Amino acid sequence: MHAPAPTGALRQLVAHARHGDLGAYARQVQRLGGCEQPIRMEGHRLHVHATTGEIVRELVDRDLPAGQLLIRCNNRRATRCATCSEVYRKDTFQLVTAGLNGGKGIGPAVAQHPRVFATFTAPSFGPVHNRPGGGRCRCGHLHPADDPALGTPLDPDRYDYRAAVLWNAHAGALWGRFTTYLRQHLAAAAGIPRSELRHCLKVSYAKVAEYQRRGAIHFHAVIRLDGPDGAEDTPPAWATTELLTDAIRSATRLAEAPGPDLDGRTYAFRFGKQLDIRPIRSADFAGTTELSSRAVAGYIAKYATKGAESATGTVDRPIRNPITDLIGADITDHARQMILTCWRLGARPDLEDLRLRKWAHMLGFRGHFSTKSRAYSVTLGALRQQRADHNEAQARERAAEAGHPLPDLDPDTVLVLSHWRFAGTGLTAAEHFITHGSPPPTTDTTDSRADAEGEPIHA
């Protein structure tokens, strides 16, 4: 395949230059901040004065240089949009950090609350190639760290693919059971009835799902004890890090999520035996058994931008047809087996609830990648709103300096009438040229197919 000539892009850019709006076009594209897969919308938004009916501000697609409204994709996955994924990673870092050290509206006293960083693993579905302590695998080889064989089964014919896929599909439910047990164990340790716990203590957490090399979901979580009112409230003196650690251990041991009955076998899911719990020290503390809050926030933010593709290769979007979608895909036979197992099980009416076909590219996991309890800290939505407010304030400043101040939009007197419809995703060749200073690998990267099967939007 030879490199396509950027004639299409040049023709579009020249047309804009003739029309005199090339600068405005460039600014519209640059406001996307480098987003690779913007959402394209057609329609209008009117701000109308509620009593006079006067249109105080209007935004119409045909008045925009691109002829459409372009919105950042906000995709969290690094493989889908490097720029938006980086924004997501930074926001997640801030969110986790605020819950550990304070900030973003949370007082610094939260840093004194007992908190740990815990990693919950998946059980075994059969022996896999690994590097125990960096040493020799049970297959007899010393695998290098980047060996694609790592995490793949020693004996694929005997690996329990059904259980591996069903584990991913039930991991979220198991986490829910775990949190119930955790509260029970904390109450028992304090010698109070379970129903009394919420009057003296709140359990807050932020967790992220990560795929192990073998394609099994495991969880990393910050778990923190607060007073009953959350992050700003001092926990009772008996709520220590040791008590929290013990309660996590026993709750992990006991939590079980019931699974389906398939062909005479009843599935039930528990976490793996390996459980790592470390107290979190503040700021930049560096030690071997305790972690700094900075390191913890960094881990969670990093994992939050990854999907199954980090364990399987390049399949980062829904599978529509396993035969055609997996031909030539750069994935291991093991990942292929996981996906095909999802596809086969997904055909069973008794497993309909698990929607295994829809989530086959996620190896059966359909939960949110990063979640937090309400009291943990600020939300990603709040961080985005802060950024939007900041941008609006800057736009007002620029408009005022240019002598065209924007009208005040008092929500009590101004009505907003919006009508937008989805018109596709991606950048045109010209927009790609503006973003990167080079033509796209294909002449046009827009995709008018609605990406309706995308992952949950994290607000």
Q: Which residues bind Zn ion (CB under 5 A)?
A: 35, 73, 81, 84, 129, 137, 139, 141
Q: Identify the three-state secondary structure at position 196.
A: helix
Comparing CB distances to Zn ion, the nearer of 137 and 315 is 137
Matching residue, tokens 């095909």:
340
The owner of tokens 């924004």 is 87
Complex with Zn ion: residue 92 or 97, whichever CB lies closer: 92
In the complex, minimum distance from the CB of residue 389 to Zn ion, in angstroms, rounded to a whole number: 21
AA letter at 124? S
Alpha-carbon dihedral angle through residues 89, 93, 95, 96, given to the nearest 10 degrees: 130
Q: How far is the CB of 39 from Zn ion (least distance, A)?
A: 9
**Of 137 and 297, which has the nearer Cβ to Zn ion?**
137
**Distance in Å, CB of 20 to Zn ion, minimum:** 29
Least Å distance, CB 224 to Zn ion, is 32
- How many angstroms separate the CA atoms of 116 and 279, rounded? 4
Q: Which is nearer to Zn ion, 38 or 235 (CB)?
A: 38
Q: For helices 241-254 and 161-190, what crossing angle results, to 10°?
A: 140
Alpha carbons 416 and 430: distance in angstroms, whole number: 32
Minimum Å gap between C-beta 319 and Zn ion is: 22
- Sign of the C-alpha dihedral computed for residues 159, 308, 272 and 343 taken in this order: negative
- Work out how close the CB of 232 gets to Zn ion at its nearest, in angstroms, rounded to a whole number: 34
Q: What one-character-per-residue DSSP string does 343-392 give?
A: HHHTT-GGGGGG-TTTTGGGTT--S-SEEE-TTSS--HHHHHHHHHHHHH
User: Are 49 and 413 in contact, with CB atoms under 8 Å apart?
Assistant: yes
- Please, what is the minimum distance in Å from the beta carbon of residue 86 to Zn ion? 10
Nearer to Zn ion, 35 or 297 (CB): 35
Which residue, 32 or 280, is less far from Zn ion as judged by CB?
Answer: 32
CA distance 161 to 338: 6
Q: Smallest distance, Å, CB 33 to Zn ion?
A: 8
* Eight-state DSSP code of residue 413: T
Element spanning 305, H or E: none
Cα distances (angstroms) measured from residue 103 to each of 99, 100, 111, 373, 378: 8, 9, 10, 17, 9
Strand pairing class (55-60; 265-269): unpaired
> Which residue type occupies 6?
P
* Nearer of residues 97 and 428 to Zn ion, judged by Cβ: 428
Minimum CB distance to Zn ion smaller for 35 or for 291: 35
Specify the residue, 133 or 264, whose C-beta has the smaller distance to Zn ion.
Answer: 133
Q: How far is the CB of 38 from Zn ion (least distance, A)?
A: 6
70 vs 186, beta carbon nearer Zn ion: 70
In the complex, the smallest distance separating the C-beta of residue 310 from Zn ion, rounded to whole angstroms, is 19
Residues ≥6 apart with Cβ < 8 Å to 278: 116, 117, 118, 289, 290, 291
Helix (H, G, I), strand (E, B) or coil at 52: coil
* Amino acid identity for residue 47 in this structure: H
